[in-house]
Amino acid sequence: MHTKIHFRIIAIAGLLSLACTTKVSEWVLLNSLPDHYTLVYFHKTAPSETTKQQNTLIDNNIKTANISFRSVLKQDINVPYYALYYKNRLFSTYNEQSYPEKLTTSPLRERIATELMAGKLCVMLYLKTDNREKDDQWLQIIRKTIDASPFSSIIPLVELSRNNSEEMHFVSMLLNVESDLKRIQEPMLFGIFGRFRVLEPLLAKGISGENIRLMIDFFTADCSCLIKDDLPGMSILFSGNWENPAPALVNRILDENPSLLHH
């Protein structure tokens, strides 16, 4: 987590005395819609029938995801291509023949969404470099800190190689949470909550017990207008149904351990 984000979370935590009693993780899942992506097909001549059929299929396949599709005439291009945008940021481009069919879903995204819908507090995702020595060093700290938390039973930890071909689009989105992440070859820990919202990651030496506990404190804090109006992080592109999640499991833990409410 970059320094500016670290202090932002501290500032948010300091204002939570003005909050309601619904926990951040629960409120965001129930009330906060995912931010939107846009997939644009750029072309300067009329699309072929094959491309028209492909675009119709694309449009039909993404209807349940937080993305819209449109076709745009653009004269200053040599060949047609697709471009994926998050708000106004360009994430990726694809040529006409290599459109990524599984842009909106993948096995790991399905698994994480299932955990969130089951009432888990969050999912911690460890993005590995595939340098085993480097990855294991920080992974031990993550596991030790989560295991020591009173909320450990509702914080699944998943590991993902940044070279996993099946999850390449998911990895690309994670590395776009902040503009400079793609250039950093370090392990990263992402906190995922709500309807697939991802916090800015902890990086390498930033993966400390203190920072992980701070992230957990954020998820278990009472929600506030500050959170609702300026939610940190970024939405991940995902095709799924967020209706009728299971009750938030954090409430049962807090009911059984009232002393945690004063921490």
Residue 10 has pLDDT above 90, yes or no: no
* pLDDT, position 14: 46
Q: Which two tokens stand for residue 203?
A: 């990086």
For residue 157, give every residue at least 6 positions away whose Cβ sits within 8 Å of its Cβ, in sequence order, or none. 123, 124, 125, 126, 142, 143, 146
pLDDT level of residue 227 (50, 70, 90 thresholds) = low
pLDDT at 69 (0 to 100): 94
**pLDDT at position 221 over 60:** yes
Q: Please give the domain boundaries of the chain with CATH numbers for all domains.
A: 3-33+106-262 (3.40.30.10), 37-98 (3.40.30.10)
Tokens of 68: 């819209």
pLDDT in tens, 117-132: 999 999 999 999 999 9
Asked if 227 and 27 count as a contact pair (C-beta separation under 8 A), the reply is yes
pLDDT mean over 210-220: 95
- Cβ burial, residue 117 (10 Å; 0-12/13-18/19+): middle
Average pLDDT, integer, range 18-41: 87
Q: What percent of the chain has pLDDT over 90?
A: 73
**47-69 confidence digits (pLDDT tens):** 999 999 999 988 888 989 999 99
Rounded distance, CA 105 to CA 119, Å?
21
Q: Which residue has the higher pLDDT, 223 or 116?
A: 116
pTM: 0.88
Cα angle 224, 225, 229 (rounded to 5 degrees) comes to 125
Q: Using one digit for the tens of pLDDT, what is the confidence trace for 153-174?
A: 999 999 999 999 999 999 999 9
Check residue 123 and report its DSSP letter.
E
